[in-house]
C-alpha cells in the first residue's frame, strides 16, 4: 500500500489544531475548561523567567484570552494536576502519575555520584533529616532548609539536593508553589493512594506514552514520539512503531516540509479524516511563549514552518542575534516574525525592544495594527495584579 502523502499546508493546520492553537477562546475560561486544555496539551511547562510573564501562564493565555492565573495553580493545589519532569518541570494531569514510577526508579542514582561527593554530609543522614522534618512539620518550601554553602549543581546546597533527589525519585511531591518556590510534601499526602500504588509495566508505559504522544502531535517520527513526554527511549518508540504498524494500529505517511522535502512519519489511522474536518487556524496575530509546546522541538518547527527559532536568554548579550526574551508571532498557520518584549509593570505596559518580520513577510499597516493589538492584549494580561503562585 502506498504511503499517504500529507501536504505541508495540511500538516501545519493539523499540528496547530492538535496543540490547541487552531482556535482561540475569548470568553471566561472555567477551571474545568483549563483542566481540559492541559489534558489536550498533555502537559504545561513551568519556567521561572518572568520577563514578560511566566511560561505556563502565557501558554494558556495564547490559547484562551479569558484564562486566569489562579485556575492553573488552583488545579495543582486541588490535586487535579501534579508537578514533575517531562523534558523539564511541568504540570501534568494527575491520572498520568502511575507512568512516572519508571522515571522515579531511573532517578535513583548511587550515592557515589559526583553530586553527592561534593558535600561533606553523609547522603543517607541528609535524606533522613529532610524526611523527618517534612513528616513532622508538614509541607515545607525550599527556604525552610537553609544551606550554609552552595554546590555546583544549579547552585544547590546539600539540603536542596536532598529535597530534589527525594522529589525526583517520587518520595516527595510538590504540594504547590508559593511565588514560584516549590513547596515539598510527602507523596502520600499529595498523590491519591491508588495512583501511588499503581505499577504499569515498562511495556504498558511505552505503549501509553507513544499513543498519547501521537494523539497530541498528530504525526511524528520515533524521535518526536519519544521526546514528547521524554518518558521512553527512542529505541523503545521505534520498536513500538514497528509493532503498531504490523497490527495496523498506526499508519506510515510521507510528510512534506516547508521547503518541499519529505520524510516518513507515523500517525493514527484517523489522520486523513481529521484533516478533512479542520477549519483554517485562528488568524489574528498572537505571541507564543518561547517555551510553548508547539515550538519546543526546534528542528520540527523549522522543518514544518520554515521558522528558525532560538531562545537567547542563555546566550551572552553580545552574541545575541535578536534579544533576551524574543517571542514568536503566530498569524494563522504561519510564523510571521518575532519580537523582543519586556513587561514594565510599574508603567503598566509591555516594551517592544525589537521587532523582526520573517523573510518575505511585510509588516504593512494592517499587520502592524494586528501586532499592536496583540501587544496591548498581552500587556493587559501580564500587568494584572500579581498573585501567589
Q: From the centroid of its chain, how far is CA 266?
A: 22
Rounded to an integer, the average pLDDT of 284-300 is 97
Instruction: Examine the domain organization and report whether 164 and 104 are in the same domain.
Output: yes
In a domain, 90, yes or no: no
Q: Is the pLDDT of residue 161 over 60?
A: yes
pTM beyond 0.85 = yes
In a domain, 83, yes or no: no
Instruction: Examine the domain organization and report whether 290 and 370 are in the same domain.
Output: yes
**pLDDT for 260-274, tens place per residue?**
999 999 999 999 999
Share of the chain above pLDDT 70, in %: 93
**Dihedral, 90, 91, 93, 95 alpha carbons, nearest 10:** 70
For residues 96 and 384, which has the higher predicted lDDT (pLDDT)?
96
Instruction: Examine the domain organization and report whether 216 and 67 are in the same domain.
Output: yes
Quote the pLDDT of residue 151: 52
Quote the pLDDT of residue 268: 97
Quote the pLDDT of residue 387: 42
For 170, residues 6+ apart whose C-beta sits below 8 A from its C-beta are 100, 101, 104, 107, 187
Q: Give the integer Cα–Cα distance in Å for 127 and 149.
A: 17
In a domain, 240, yes or no: yes
Which has the closest alpha carbon to 174: 193, 196, 189, 162? Answer: 189
**pLDDT for 49-102, tens place per residue?**
999 999 999 999 999 999 999 999 999 999 999 999 999 999 999 999 999 999
For residues 120 and 68, which has the higher predicted lDDT (pLDDT)?
68
In a domain, 80, yes or no: no
The sheet with strand 172-178 has its strands ordered as 140-141, 181-186, 172-178
Instruction: Examine the domain organization and report whether 298 and 339 are in the same domain.
Output: yes
In a domain, 76, yes or no: no
Q: Is the pLDDT of residue 118 over 90?
A: no
Rounded to an integer, the average pLDDT of 365-372 is 97
In a domain, 23, yes or no: yes
Which has the closest alpha carbon to 293: 81, 34, 21? Answer: 21
Q: Where are the alpha helices (DSSP H) in 169-270?
A: 193-197, 202-217, 222-229, 234-246
Mean pLDDT of the chain: 93
C-alpha cell belonging to residue 270: 484517523
Quote the pLDDT of residue 25: 87
Quote the pLDDT of residue 267: 97
- What is the number of structural domains in the chain? 3
Rounded to an integer, the average pLDDT of 267-288 is 95
Among residues 277, 297, 319, the one where a domain terminates is: 277
For 100, residues 6+ apart whose C-beta sits below 8 A from its C-beta are 84, 170, 231
Among residues 141, 175, 197, the one where a domain terminates is: 197
In a domain, 88, yes or no: no
**pLDDT for 216-230, tens place per residue?**
999 999 999 999 999
For residues 157 and 47, which has the higher predicted lDDT (pLDDT)?
47
Among residues 173, 197, 221, the one where a domain terminates is: 197
Half-sphere exposure in the Cβ direction for 160 (13 Å, CA): 16
Instruction: Examine the domain organization and report whether 355 and 370 are in the same domain.
Output: yes
Q: Is the pLDDT of residue 2 over 90?
A: no
Quote the pLDDT of residue 153: 47
User: Domain range for residue 254?
Assistant: 4-71+202-277
Amino acid at each position: 500500500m502506498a504511503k499517504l502523502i500529507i501536504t505541508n499546508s495540511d500538516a501545519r493546520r493539523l499540528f496547530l489544531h492538535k496543540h490547541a492553537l487552531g482556535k482561540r477562546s475569548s470568553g471566561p475560561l472555567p477551571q474545568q475548561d483549563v483542566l481540559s486544555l492541559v489534558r489536550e496539551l498533555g502537559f504545561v511547562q513551568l519556567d521561572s523567567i518572568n520577563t514578560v510573564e511566566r511560561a505556563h501562564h502565557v501558554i494558556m493565555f495564547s490559547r484562551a484570552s479569558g484564562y486566569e492565573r489562579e485556575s492553573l495553580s488552583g488545579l495543582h493545589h486541588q490535586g487535579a494536576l501534579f508537578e514533575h519532569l517531562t523534558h523539564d518541570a511541568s504540570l501534568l494531569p494527575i491520572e498520568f502519575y502511575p507512568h512516572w514510577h519508571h522515571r522515579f526508579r531511573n532517578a535513583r542514582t548511587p550515592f557515589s555520584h559526583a553530586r553527592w561527593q561534593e558535600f561533606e554530609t553523609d547522603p543517607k543522614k541528609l535524606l533522613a533529616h529532610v524526611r523527618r522534618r517534612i513528616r513532622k512539620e508538614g509541607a515545607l518550601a525550599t527556604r525552610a532548609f537553609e544551606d550554609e554553602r552552595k554546590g555546583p549543581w544549579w547552585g544547590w546546597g546539600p539540603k536542596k539536593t536532598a529535597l530534589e533527589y527525594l522529589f525526583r525519585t517520587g518520595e516527595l511531591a510538590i504540594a504547590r508553589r508559593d511565588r514560584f518556590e516549590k513547596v515539598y510534601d510527602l507523596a502520600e499526602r499529595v498523590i491519591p493512594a491508588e495512583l501511588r500504588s499503581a505499577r504499569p509495566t515498562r511495556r504498558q508505559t511505552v505503549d501509553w506514552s507513544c499513543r498519547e504522544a501521537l494523539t497530541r502531535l498528530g504525526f511524528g517520527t520515533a524521535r518526536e514520539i519519544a521526546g514528547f513526554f521524554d518518558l521512553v527511549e527512542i529505541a523503545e518508540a521505534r520498536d513500538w512503531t514497528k509493532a503498531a504498524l504490523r497490527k495496523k494500529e498506526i499508519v506510515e505517511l510521507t510528510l512534506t516540509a516547508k521547503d518541499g522535502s519529505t520524510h516518513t512519519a507515523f500517525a493514527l489511522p484517523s489522520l486523513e479524516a481529521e484533516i478533512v474536518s479542520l477549519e483554517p487556524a485562528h488568524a489574528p496575530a498572537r505571541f507564543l511563549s518561547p517555551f510553548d509546546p508547539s515550538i519546543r522541538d526546534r528542528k520540527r518547527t523549522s522543518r514544518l514552518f520554515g521558522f528558525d527559532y532560538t531562545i537567547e536568554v542563555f546566550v551572552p548579550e553580545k552574541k545575541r542575534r535578536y534579544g533576551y526574551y524574543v517571542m514568536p508571532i503566530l498569524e494563522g498557520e504561519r510564523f510571521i516574525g518575532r519580537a523582543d518584549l519586556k513587561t514594565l509593570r510599574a508603567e503598566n505596559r509591555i516594551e517592544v525592544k525589537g521587532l523582526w518580520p520573517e523573510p518575505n513577510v511585510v509588516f504593512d499597516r494592517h499587520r502592524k495594527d494586528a501586532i499592536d493589538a496583540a501587544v496591548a492584549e498581552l500587556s493587559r494580561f501580564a500587568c494584572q495584579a500579581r498573585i501567589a503562585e
